[in-house]
Amino acid sequence: MPVISAPQEFNEEELYVDLRSVLGHPLYLKCEGFNFAGSVKLKAAEEMISAAEKDGILTPGSTLVESSSGNLGVALSVIAANRGYQFLCVTDSRCNRSTRRLMEALGSQVHIIAGPDAESGFLGARIDYVRQLVASDPRYVWLNQHSNPNNWVAHYRTTAPAIARQFPKLDILFVGAGTTGTLMGCSRFFREYEKRVRIVAVDSVGSVTFGGPSGTRMIPGLGTGVRPALLDESLVDEVIHVPEADTVRTCHQLARRGFLFGGSTGTVVGAAGKWLADHTAGDELTAVAIAPDLGERYLDTLYQSDWVRGLYGDDVLDELAVGTGSM
């Protein structure tokens, strides 16, 4: 029986869902949402905060400030509350209302950027605001998840080794790309541990991370409007871009089987399912995908009919209705 004294001390690391019955292809989904922050971002938050404390950057009286679309903001809120820091999350209008309220319940402040920068989108606008805050008051400490190497170190030390322990003969790993911390940490580990593992990065259509054209994205989590400083494309074997309508379809497909996941998971699983359908004729590969969070925070968006219809049209809902009837 685990007994903990701090919320960041607990994280379920060894839970996988076998999605063969859902997708028709073997895929093990590593569930990262079972901790007190509800997402994989707890690992990066803990690593970055601990490093900043060790280096003397973060001290009593400091106020953490970070740009986040949601999950890292919650993770930092959890640890800040536990360690006695003030925290200001700079997010934007796409951040789920439940996520904002959760951060506030933990004692954090939330500043919402109303509109995107003309060239760098919401992310660029958020980062500009953070830079202004840091320049205005030395008490603000910006961990900067977008360029902080401890972001990927967290997954090099924890996420990837956990996968390797469970699947020593892993063939392919699907990882969503946001800040690319999870992607880079896992890629670096497997390049050293087992070079034959194929690393497939999954991104959203409209993201500029891998050089694609910028476009409107409404589901927080994956994708960026500014190329991540952490990204090293030489560590990635393949990139798959997924339209947000497909993300919605996959999330609902999983929910119909009782698995309620967030948008990032829907994107990654959707990409993995298509890749496996195209590449595994007669061959059974050992494939793993990482699910960053669960779906409760998306009830007002991904799982709300009016929201889906307003953004992606009636076709997506019609397809979902047909799929429900056929199961």
Contact 123, 226 (CB under 8 A): yes
Check residue 234 and give its pLDDT: 96
Q: Tell me: do 55 and 188 sit in the same domain.
A: no
Contact 132, 65 (CB under 8 A): no
Q: Tell me: do 218 and 100 sit in the same domain.
A: no
Q: Tell me: do 48 and 30 sit in the same domain.
A: no
Q: Tell me: do 172 and 317 sit in the same domain.
A: yes
Check residue 322 and give its pLDDT: 58
Check residue 321 and give its pLDDT: 65
Q: Is 1 part of any domain?
A: no
Q: Check which CATH number belongs to the domain holding 120 and give it.
A: 3.40.50.1100
Q: Is 156 part of any domain?
A: yes
Q: Is 254 part of any domain?
A: yes
Q: Tell me: do 291 and 162 sit in the same domain.
A: yes
Contact 62, 84 (CB under 8 A): no
Check residue 326 and give its pLDDT: 39
Last residue of a domain, one of 109, 142, 175: 142
Would you list the DSSP string of 38-58? SBTHHHHHHHHHHHHHHTTSS
Q: Tell me: do 129 and 70 sit in the same domain.
A: yes
Last residue of a domain, one of 116, 142, 168: 142
pTM: predicted TM-score of the whole model, two decimal places = 0.93
Q: Tell me: do 259 and 310 sit in the same domain.
A: yes
Q: Tell me: do 22 and 90 sit in the same domain.
A: no
**Domain count for the chain:** 2
Q: Tell me: do 231 and 298 sit in the same domain.
A: yes
Q: Tell me: do 120 and 62 sit in the same domain.
A: yes
Out of 67, 68, 207, 264, the active site residue is 264
List the one residue out of 127, 311, 120 whose CA is nearest residue 214: 120
Q: Tell me: do 120 and 172 sit in the same domain.
A: no
Residue 153 structural domain: 7-35+149-326
| pLDDT tens, N- to C-terminus, the chain (327 residues) | 789 999 999 999 999 999 999 998 899 999 999 999 999 999 999 999 999 999 999 999 999 999 998 999 999 999 999 999 999 999 988 888 999 999 999 999 999 998 888 778 888 899 999 999 999 999 999 999 999 999 999 999 999 999 999 999 999 999 999 999 999 999 999 999 878 899 999 999 999 999 999 998 889 889 988 899 999 999 999 999 999 999 999 999 999 999 999 999 999 999 999 999 998 655 689 999 999 999 999 999 999 999 999 999 888 877 766 555 433
- Strands 16-18 and 28-31: what pairing? antiparallel
Sign of the Cα torsion 131, 141, 294, 291 reads: positive
User: What is the H or E stretch that residue 6 is in?
Assistant: none
Out of 39, 41, 43, 120, the active site residue is 41
Catalytic: 264? yes
Q: Which residues neighbour 63 within 8 Å (Cβ) at sequence distance 6 or greater? A: 85, 86, 87, 88, 137, 139, 140, 141
Would you list the DSSP string of 95-138? S-HHHHHHHHHTT-EEEEE-S-BTTTHHHHHHHHHHHHHHHH-T
Last residue of a domain, one of 94, 117, 142: 142
